[in-house]
Amino acid sequence: MNMNKLVSGLLFGLSVVISLPSMAGGKPFEDKFRQLDELLPTPNTYRTASGAPGHKYWQQQADYKIRVKLDDQKQKLTASETITYTNNSPDTLTYLWLQLDQNRFKRESLDKMTRTTSVAGKENPKTTFSSMRNRVKSSQHDGGYDITKVADSRGRAMKYVINNTMMRIDLAKPLKSGQDIEFSIDWNYQVREQKVLGGRAGFEYFKEDDNYLYEIAQWFPRMAAYYDVYGWQNKQFLGNGEFTLEFGDYDVQITVPADHIVAATGELQNTKRVLTSTQRKRLAKAKTANKPVIIVTEEEAIENEKEKSSKTKTWHFKAENVRDFAWASSRKFIWDAQGYNEGDIDTMAMSFYPKEGNPLWERYSTEAIVHTIEHYNKYSLQYPYPVSISVNGPVGGMEYPMITFNGPRPKVDKKTGEKTYSKRTKYGLIGVIIHEVGHNYYPMIVNSDERQWTWMDEGLNTFVQFLAQQAWEENYPQRRGPARKIVNYMKSSHQVPIMTNSESILQFGNNAYGKPATALNILRETIMGRELFDFAFKEYAERWKFKRPTPADFFRTMEDASAVDLDWFFRGWFYTTNHVDLSLDKVTKLHIGSQDPEVENAWDRDQFNQEPSDISNMRDKGLVVRTKGKPELLDFYNEHDEFTVTNSDRNKYVKDQKKLEDWQLELLKNGSNIYVVDFSNKGGLVMPIILEVKYTDGTSEIQRISAQIWRKNTEQVSKMLITDKEISAITLDPYWETADVDVNNNYWPARVVESRLALYKRKKSKSMMEKFNQKLKTKEDLEAEEKKAEEKAKAEKDAKEKKAA
Ligand SMILES: [Zn+2]
């Protein structure tokens, strides 16, 4: 059935809203449509009431020059950086704040000290080996920066104070509005083993070939953001609230073992120095290719793995107008690339992965990058950077400007060496690449304050990820976005509103990714419609690209560009933990009374006769009653019931008719069916009422009533439907598009709830005597058994291959 046809074919001649008094159930009336202004900051010249940057909008600039050396023997970084900080604010600054993210890994960091555990409180404490290894190693690992120098442009030491993950540099001379300052910092730190210690960066060690793969991020002291809403954003890094950063230009030289391949934010400057002529030729070919071109093949990467060069090479990268810089390095990297040129966009999608990533990575990674850019451009802004990179390493999924770290890999059968992957891994890989590359848009370009609001980047990004995945293949297995997927979270307890600081969020993934992404999808499909939504959403990205928006700027822009009052929606979905549960309570069928006693009294009698008999009267049938043998006891009242029409009734009818005007008489003859449908709001969130109405003639139609139906009464409303046809069934929210947590109260007539009762066998456990008598096996016995199994598996594999050949 064509949905559009259904929606446009609206049939109801007339519909009237009947509202009940405002004190429903004795509770005070709550205005769910109250405007948000009392919660949002007052607009000013920096941020307007329309949600756009104001005419005096400003932001700081931080440019970096970094020289870093990777010690592959000790997995250690040593670097020297020069920062040029430009004060574009109207304020005079007497000190500067920098972020020292690595200090989160110091033994006594705020994060480590405040981490809680639930193990001991349990009756039977248990945890996984890897989780316990993480705890033990974390408690031993004393990471963090060793800062060896902080000096001004003339080399004079500057005064500084370190408070956990933040460093304050006190300025000898205040930095006035419009001025800039140059200073440098020398530092080093021990890179962490990511697979053991976790985190958004680190190294992975490959035992089989004795090699390291590095994913390096949050690696250099970075300027904290200073902006009109919060001043210095120097809230400590506790692990969840990510990074609030300034835009700037980067000049970075990375020295690594000569046989390493390096991927980084920005454009490689010294291609001739670090790449072979073959690699350069392949890269040139990739620029115009329509599928990935291999720059370093798997065979070449395997050769590199063996080299173990003791020489070094320096890779030089430059990046303009980025808010961060990250890189990856290994001699294990296979490298493929494909150019993407569309309109003004000229970029190179590239993937770097060890052989362990194949066959998944060569097939999907670069293709997924190109797909992401294509679809995010459609809904957000035009991708402005020269490269977009996906790296496979220890980190599960993390984003940086132009470069992302993505984890999924196939599984290797230890016995046969065969590589297989699950459906979950395949879509996990495609999904995580789309997600992380998508972060280039939010928050790498639409530069929201992540330390404050996780949803502003994760929620918006997860929503566009959903749209991009829709365009990957039909019926893509979506995890977040469809309304029905958020229902269990919405009805769960232990929740906080979306508008909660990043470090205080409960149920992180659902709260900051799933719920906002679903909310946006509902706005698009159900509340605003695709045309109005897409324009407003794109307008937000266009207004705030390379700037720093706040929640109010998003809320205001969505209304400003669409003329849809969404305060009720943002209030309900972003500021409360209410859920949607609308209920279709009752359907009443009415007809207009003709006032003619001959007609109406007969109708009344008919209704009376439809009532069930009185139980005593029923059982007393056949009882010998007094009047039976004495008809003289029967009179007028035994012949006429109360429905008998009297002459008085007839006279009154004629008299009344004379008093009515023609249009009133006309209405009395109207034969339409009038249905009054009662709804109640059990969940708290007001939402549109979407009805599928089925008629006895087999036709059906969809009616969409916007959420404003609840504005005078948020708990109960009734809707009148007038039709010539007879309604046979009504379904509320027929496509499950509102995240209604209980659809069983959405049907008239009510629906039988189907479920399954599973039967199971009770398991018999082994007795202690049986266990005692079991044959004793030595380690050698077990090894022999294992070897036998291995041989069998190998023989089976060989036979399979032979058959296939
Ligand atoms: Zn994310």
User: Mean pLDDT over all residues of the chain?
Assistant: 94
Concatenating the DSSP letter of every residue in 440-465 gives TTTTTTB---TTT-SHHHHHHHHHHH
Cα 465 to ligand 1 centre (Å): 10
**471 alpha carbon – ligand 1 mean position (Å):** 19
pLDDT of residue 337 exceeding 90: yes
Which tokens go with 793?
Answer: 């598996």
255 Cα–ligand 1 center, Å:
30
Helix, strand, coil in percent for the chain, rounding step 5 = 35, 25, 40
Distance 225 CA to ligand 1 centre (A): 20
Predicted pLDDT at 18: 46
Backbone angles phi, psi at 137, to 5 degrees: -65, -35
Distance from residue 797's CA to the centre of ligand 1 (Å): 40
DSSP result, 633-661: G--HHHH--TTPPPHHHHHHHHHHHHHS-
Give distance in angstroms: CA of 457 to centre of ligand 1: 7
Q: Which residue has the higher pLDDT, 416 or 405?
A: 405
- Cα(285) to ligand 1 centroid in Å equals 32
Confidence band (pLDDT; 50, 70, 90) for 794?
Answer: confident
Residue 344's pLDDT band (boundaries 50, 70, 90)? confident
**Measured distance CA(28)–CA(7) in Å, rounded:** 36
- Ligand 1 center from residue 157 Cα (angstroms): 39
Nearest to 9 by CA among 782, 746, 492, 703: 703
Nearest to 393 by CA among 439, 457, 334, 310: 334
pLDDT of residue 25: 54
Distance 399 CA to ligand 1 centre (A): 7
**Dist. CA 53 → ligand 1 center (Å):** 25
- Helix-helix angle 423-438:360-379, to 10 degrees: 40
Burial (CB count within 10 angstroms: exposed 0-12, middle 13-18, buried 19+), residue 692 = middle
Each residue's pLDDT tens digit, 677-727: 999 999 999 999 999 999 999 999 999 999 999 999 999 999 999 999 999
Q: How far is the CA of 345 from the centre of ligand 1 (A)?
A: 24
CA distances for 336 relative to 298, 354, 392, 550, angstroms: 10, 12, 12, 38
Model's pTM, two decimal places? 0.91
Give the pLDDT score at 629.
Answer: 87
Token reading at 134: 């993480």
Q: What is the pLDDT of residues 639-674, one digit of tens each?
A: 999 999 999 999 999 999 999 999 999 999 998 999
The string of pLDDT tens digits covering residues 435-460 is: 999 999 999 999 999 999 999 999 99
Q: Work out the widest C-alpha separation in the chain, in whole angstroms.
A: 129
Q: Using alpha carbons, list the distances in angstroms from residue 704 to 9, 92, 526, 581.
A: 11, 55, 9, 17
In the prediction, which pLDDT does 782 show?
Answer: 92
> What is the 438 CA–ligand 1 centroid distance (Å)?
8
C-alpha gyration radius of the chain: 36
Say if residues 652 and 546 touch (Cβ distance below 8 Å). Answer: no
Q: pLDDT tens across 496-547, in order?
A: 999 999 999 999 999 999 999 999 999 999 999 999 999 999 999 999 999 9
* Side-chain half-sphere CA neighbours of 682 within 13 A: 15
- Residue 182 predicted with pLDDT over 90: yes
Q: How far, in Å, is the centroid of ligand 1 from the Cα of 135?
A: 25
Question: Could you tell me the strand order of the sheet in which 345-353 lies?
Answer: 293-296, 334-342, 345-353, 387-392, 403-406, 397-400
Mean pLDDT of 138-150: 92
C-alpha of residue 442 to centroid of ligand 1, in Å: 9
Render pLDDT for 200-243 as a digit per residue (tens, 0 to 9).
999 999 999 999 999 999 999 999 999 999 999 999 999 999 99
Residues near ion ligand 1 (Cβ under 5 Å): 458
| Res 13: pLDDT | 39
* Ligand 1 centroid from CA 646, angstroms: 79
Whole-number Å distance, alpha carbon 429 to ligand 1 midpoint, is: 14
8 A C-beta contact, residue 673 and residue 589: yes
Contacts with 167 (C-beta within 8 Å, 6 or more apart), sequence order:
97, 98, 99, 100, 147, 160, 161, 221
CA of 402 from ligand 1 middle (Å) equals 14
Mean pLDDT calculated for residue range 11-18? 43
The 3-state secondary structure of 611-633 reads CCCCHHHHHCCCCCCHHHCCHHH
Ligand 1: centre distance to CA 24 (Å): 43
Residue 632's pLDDT is what?
94
pLDDT-derived band at 26 (thresholds 50, 70, 90) equals: low
Residue 8 Cα to ligand 1 middle (Å)? 38
Say if residue 24's pLDDT is above 80: no
How many whole angstroms from 244 Cα to the centroid of ligand 1? 14
Distance 85 CA to ligand 1 centre (A): 28
CA atoms of 297 and 293, how far apart (whole Å): 10
| Separation of CA 503 from chain center | 17
CA of 462 to the centre of ligand 1 (A): 7
What's the gap in Å between 740 CA and the centre of ligand 1? 26
- Annotate 396-433 with three-state secondary structure: CEEEECCEEEECCCCEECCCCCCEECCHHHHHHHHHHH
pLDDT in tens, 290-303: 999 999 999 999 99
Structure tokens at 95: 């000190």
Output the pLDDT for position 124.
Answer: 82
Residue 398 CA to residue 555 CA, distance in Å, equals 27
Q: Which residues lie across from 352 on neighbouring strands? A: 335, 391
Question: What span, in angstroms and rounded, lies between the C-alpha atoms of 240 and 509?
Answer: 11
CA of 435 to the centre of ligand 1 (A): 6
Residue 802: partners with Cβ closer than 8 Å, 6 or more residues away: none
Ligand 1 mean position, distance from CA 352 (Å) = 20
Query: Who contacts 495 (Cβ-Cβ below 8 Å, separation ≥6)?
Result: 489, 506, 507, 511, 577
Mean pLDDT, to the nearest integer, of 469-494? 96
pLDDT for 414? 81
Neighbours of 413 (CB within 10 A): 11
Interval between CA 485 and ligand 1 midpoint (Å): 18
CA of 36 to the centre of ligand 1 (A): 28
Q: Is 449 exposed, middle or buried (0-12, 13-18, 19+ CB in 10 A)?
A: buried
The alpha carbon of 118 and the centre of ligand 1 are apart by a number of angstroms equal to: 27
For ligand 1, the distance from its centroid to the CA atom of residue 509, given in whole angstroms, is 10
Q: Which of 58-67, 109-118, 497-506 has the lowest mean pLDDT?
A: 109-118
460 Cα to the center of ligand 1, angstroms: 9
Q: Tell me the CA–centroid distance for residue 635 and ligand 1, in Å.
A: 87
Question: What DSSP letter does each residue of 665-704 carry, written as one string?
Answer: HHHHT---EEEEEEEEESSB----EEEEEEETTS-EEEEE
Lowest mean pLDDT among 12-16, 178-182, 247-251, 410-414: 12-16
